[in-house]
Structures are given as C-alpha cells and as structure tokens.
C-alpha cells in the first residue's frame, strides 16, 4: 500500500503519512488481526441492517456481504496481505473489500466508527473465550469426578500447614477441586451474561443520526440487548477485566492443584504417579521423572495475573469515552486466554492419566497422629468431658505415643488409663483411619457415602 492510498483512507486531513516510528507505535494489526472472524461477522450483520433500514441499497449490501466472505476465505487460506500502514484489522479488511467490490465498500462504515467496531469485535472474541473456558473446566471436572469415584473410600491424610491433620478420602480431596472449578464456571458464566450487550451503533461516542436498528443486529449476533449508553458502549472494557479476573482466580486454583501434584508425585510422598505424557526426564540424572507440566501450570498464574493488573492499570485513569490507550487492551487478554486454555487442557490430561497409590495414601493417613481429633471427640461424646479438657488429655496421649515412637492406636489401654482413668477399650474403634473418615457424615464431610452423593449431584448438574 503506497502513501497516497493510505492517506485516502483517512481523507484530506493529513497531507503526509506517518513516519516509521509513529506507524510502529500506532499500528495494532500485528495482534488485532486475530479478530478477523468477529470483524467480518459483525460487518456482515451491519450491512444487512443498513439495507433493511433503507440506509444503503440491497445490491450494495449484497456485494459487501459476498465480498467479506471472499476476504474471510483469503485470511483463512493465509493469502491475505496484512498491512501495518493500514493500522488495524478493520481498515485492512475494508481496504481489501474495496479492492474486491469497488465503490460499495465505502458504504459499509456508514453509522459506525472504529470505536464501536472494535468494542464489538473484542467483546465477541472475549465472549467466545468465556465459553471455551467453561468447556475446558467441564472437561477437567469430569476427569476429577472419575478420580473421586474410583477412590471414594480410599483414606489419605488431610493437611493443614502441610502437616498431617485428620484422615480424609481421596475422593473427598478430588471433590474439593470440583467445587473450586465449579465456582470458576459460575464466574465465567456470570461475566458472559453481563458482557452480552451490543455496542455497535454507539459510533464514535454519541450514537448516530441514521435510523439504524440496533435490536436487529444485536439479535443477529447473539446479544441479549443493545448497550444503553453510547459513551459507555465505546469506553467499556469491564467485559475484558471480568474475564481476566475470572481467569486469574481459575489459574490460581490450577496452581494450587499443580503444587499438590508436584508434592504428591515426589519420592518422599509417592501419593500419585503422573503419566509419561506429562512428565520429562533429566539431562544428567537418569532416575528423574519431573512433573514439568504441573510446574508450568503452576507458573501460568504469573502471566495471567500480570495481564489482569496490566489492563486495570491501562483503564484506571481514562476519561470518557475512547482513548488510544485502549489499544493496549488486547495482547494481554489474548495471552491470558491462550495460557488459561493450555493450562486447563494440560491439567485435564494429567488428572485423567494419573494413578493414585492407594497403599501410600493409607500409610500416610495412619501416621502423624491423624486420629487425635477423633480421640478428643470420643472423650467428649462418651465420657462427657468438656472439649478443652478432652483436648488436653489427647495432647498428653500424643506426647506419650511420640515418646514411645508409636502412633495412638499402638498405645495399650493401661497406658491410656494412666492419663485418664475413664478411657475404655471402646476408644480403639475410633482410632482407625477408616473408622475416622466413615464417621464424618455431616454435610460436606469426608465420609465415603457423602463423597458418592456429591459425585452423583455433580454428574446430574454437569452438562
């Protein structure tokens, strides 16, 4: 594209084109070409509406819509000549449309601006990414449900401060992440519902004097309603910020789970074995099997949170309506969406492939005095001790067992009676880890029957 053609796109305001530095800082085609499908879909709907409202002729609208399909096919075939001199995806497509159909191409931009056009394209793209994230989360939840169902009654240690706390079940632990990722689905769905307002028709900022039908185009493009305020329609990037916020929380959940997989797959824990598909070896240590996929997922929160902070920083001081700063809204959202989907797919693959070591889980659950709380509860329930007194008695018994180098169930009855004379041999019924988890039947507790009920509930609610 020569300078004369580029200037013609702008009209007569500028006598000469921008120099190389201005062109480089001003152009966004290097990244916003990713919006080509949304730009073409929105333009086709806009042209149909202009014709329906009598603003352009049916023949011009038909030529525009067919020409845009030609542009689409060229882009998808890798044959489209993107030009930085034309700045962005909108002007690149319009210029190529003019090459294809001639003068009618100039009528396409009637009753719109690049301000509301990019707001539409970007909103449509983010809407699709929210849907994709929900799909990825549902796949991950299904993999977690399969793990939970297989190990609904497998005992393992539950931790606080990464110290053994109380026995739980493998299924219960998997279902904790089902709940987390289920909330993530809700966040993406909530954000999608709010972003589903149609901005085109706001034009540059004040609306248009042409008799457009915004309801028609909103409906054609799957929006619930037109945006009610033209200033807000072009200035709003809440939809991107909400998407990034939901993505950040989701990435944080993925990172927490990834951290557990890194720990659990270590030789010191041996709780799980990750498949070769999601592990790597060492260049120098032949025995190593590194959980690289989990570690990379753990790191994704950094760039996704960074994108969120970046866009908040761009938007925080902008007056209404549009400022060129807002061109800096896309790259970080594109990057965050790409990395979230990659992390979700990798985690779903790891969860589907991993094998839990039931024996190692059971042995770990039985160590570290994990049934101490069960003992304290028994003292309250059976002997009527105040809980604080039961806590003290139990602590004394733990110290005794620790001195002997054994666990609570290995103390004999006389040793227990030496601490509290009321203890009977019935106490041993609650000191086994299987008995402990089976007793936790309160709603939300770790008892296998609870876990199976929650699995059934999620299977029913998950599309």
Q: Which residues are catalytic?
A: 161, 282
CA distance 94 to 115: 15
**Residues 191 and 179: beta-carbon distance below 8 Å:** no
Does 253 sit behind a cis peptide bond, omega within 30 degrees of 0 on the bond before it? no
- Which residues does 228 contact at the CB level (< 8 Å), separation at least 6? 197
What are the C-alpha distances in Å from 445 to residues 172, 249, 436? 8, 25, 11
SS (H, E, C) the chain: CCHHHHHHHHCCCCCCCCCHHHHHHHCCHHHHHHHHHHHHHHHHHHHHHHHHCCCCCHHHHHHHHHHHHHHHHHHHCCCCCCCHHHCCHHHHHHHHHHHHHCHHHHHCCCCCCHHHHHHHHHHHHHHHHHHHHHHHHHHHHHHHHHHHHHCCCCEEEEEECCEEEEEEEHHHHHHHHHHHHHHHHHHHHHHHHHHCEECCCCCCCCCCCCCCCHHHHHHHCCCCEECCCHHHHHHCCHHHHHHHHHHHHHHHHHHHHHHHHHHHCCCCCCCEECCHHHCECCCCCCCCCECHHHHHHHHHHHHHHHHHHHHHHHHCCCCCCCCHHHHHHHHHHHHHHHHHHHHHHHHHHHHHHCEECHHHHHHHHCCCCCCHHHHHHHHHHHHCCCHHHHHHHHHHHHHHHHHHCCCHHHCCHHHHHCCCCCCCHHHHHCCCHHHHHHHCCCCCCCCHHHHHHHHHHHHHHCC
d(CA 443, CA 441): 6
d(CA 407, CA 367): 7
Provide the 10 A C-beta neighbour count for residue 6: 19
């Amino acid at each position: 594209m020569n300078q004369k053609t580029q200037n013609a796109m702008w009209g007569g305001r500028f006598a000469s084109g921008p120099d190389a530095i201005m062109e480089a800082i001003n152009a966004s085609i290097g990244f916003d070409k990713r919006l080509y499908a949304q730009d073409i879909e929105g333009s086709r709907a806009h042209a149909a509406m202009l014709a329906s409202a009598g603003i352009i002729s049916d023949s011009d609208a038909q030529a525009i819509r067919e020409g845009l399909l030609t542009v689409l096919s060229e882009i998808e075939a890798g044959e489209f000549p993107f030009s930085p001199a034309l700045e962005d995806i909108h002007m690149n497509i319009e210029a190529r449309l003019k090459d294809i159909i001639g003068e009618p191409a100039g009528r396409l931009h009637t009753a719109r601006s690049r301000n509301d056009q990019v707001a539409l394209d970007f909103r449509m793209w983010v809407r699709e990414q929210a849907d994709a994230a929900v799909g990825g989360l549902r796949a991950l939840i299904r993999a977690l449900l399969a793990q939970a169902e297989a190990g609904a009654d497998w005992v393992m240690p539950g931790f606080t401060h990464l110290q053994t706390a109380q026995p739980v079940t493998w299924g219960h632990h998997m279902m904790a992440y089902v709940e987390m990722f289920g909330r993530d689905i809700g966040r993406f769905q909530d954000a999608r519902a709010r972003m589903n307002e149609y901005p085109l028709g706001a034009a540059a900022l004040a609306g248009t004097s042409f008799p457009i039908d915004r309801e028609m185009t909103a409906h054609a493009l799957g929006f619930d309603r037109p945006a009610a305020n033209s200033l807000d329609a072009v200035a709003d990037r809440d939809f991107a910020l909400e998407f990034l916020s939901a993505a950040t929380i989701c990435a944080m959940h993925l990172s927490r789970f990834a951290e557990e997989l890194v720990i659990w797959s270590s030789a010191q824990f041996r709780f799980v074995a990750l498949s070769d598909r999601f592990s790597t070896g060492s260049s120098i240590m032949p025995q190593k099997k590194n959980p690289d996929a989990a570690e990379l997922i753990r790191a994704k929160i950094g760039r996704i949170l960074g994108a969120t902070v970046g866009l908040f920083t761009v938007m925080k001081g902008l007056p209404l309506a549009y400022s060129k700063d807002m061109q800096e809204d896309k790259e970080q959202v594109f990057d965050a969406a790409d990395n979230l989907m990659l992390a979700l797919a990798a985690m779903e693959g790891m969860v589907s492939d991993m094998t839990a070591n039931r024996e190692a889980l059971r042995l770990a659950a039985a160590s570290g005095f994990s049934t101490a709380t069960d003992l304290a509860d028994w003292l309250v329930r059976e002997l009527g001790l105040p809980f604080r007194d039961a806590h003290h008695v139990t602590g004394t018994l733990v110290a005794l067992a620790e001195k002997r180098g054994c666990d609570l169930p290995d103390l004999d009855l006389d040793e227990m009676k030496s601490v509290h004379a009321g203890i009977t041999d019935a106490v041993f019924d609650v000191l086994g880890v299987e008995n402990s988890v089976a007793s936790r039947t309160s709603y939300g507790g770790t008892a296998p029957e609870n876990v199976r009920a929650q699995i059934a509930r999620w299977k029913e609610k998950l599309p």
